[in-house]
Amino acid sequence: MPFWTYLLRCSDGSFYAGHTDALEQRIGQHQIGRGSDYTARRQPVALAWCQDFPSRLEALDAEKRIKGWSRAKKEALIAGDWERVSQLAIAYGARPSTGSGRTGECRTSAPYNSVRPNLVEGRAKQTTSPCR
């Protein structure tokens, strides 16, 4: 069973990161205002990016990592611009992320390159993956 990490684009332009084992159902919950308090207050929301992982732990690790990213880095991920993602990783690498409300070093078991781009916005459905 695959697990998913996803980014939603909210009506105010902000992003919401999450993970799930039932992507289409979870996105549906967000779209009717029952996915989270954050997205319920920022309707409508739309899936901007997602990626599947073999385990819940890997999906959760990716979610936590992405939540700490800058807006520019999230936008580069959505666009599939890995050169820009890499540049932003170097530019922000010296500062600890505070996106989760915690400071200090973030330790995850999944390597950095385990997050790969799956462009969603503005692209025709080409595969059976719910991300497309």
Give the pLDDT of residue 114.
52
Residue 127 has what pLDDT? 37
pLDDT of amino acid 29 = 96
Q: What is the CATH number of domain 3-114?
A: 3.40.1440
Sign of CA dihedral 105, 71, 14, 78: negative
Q: Report pLDDT for 124.
A: 32
Q: How many CA atoms lie within 13 A of 33 on its CB side?
A: 5
Residues of the chain with pLDDT under 50: 100-113, 119-129
What is the model's pLDDT at position 80? 94
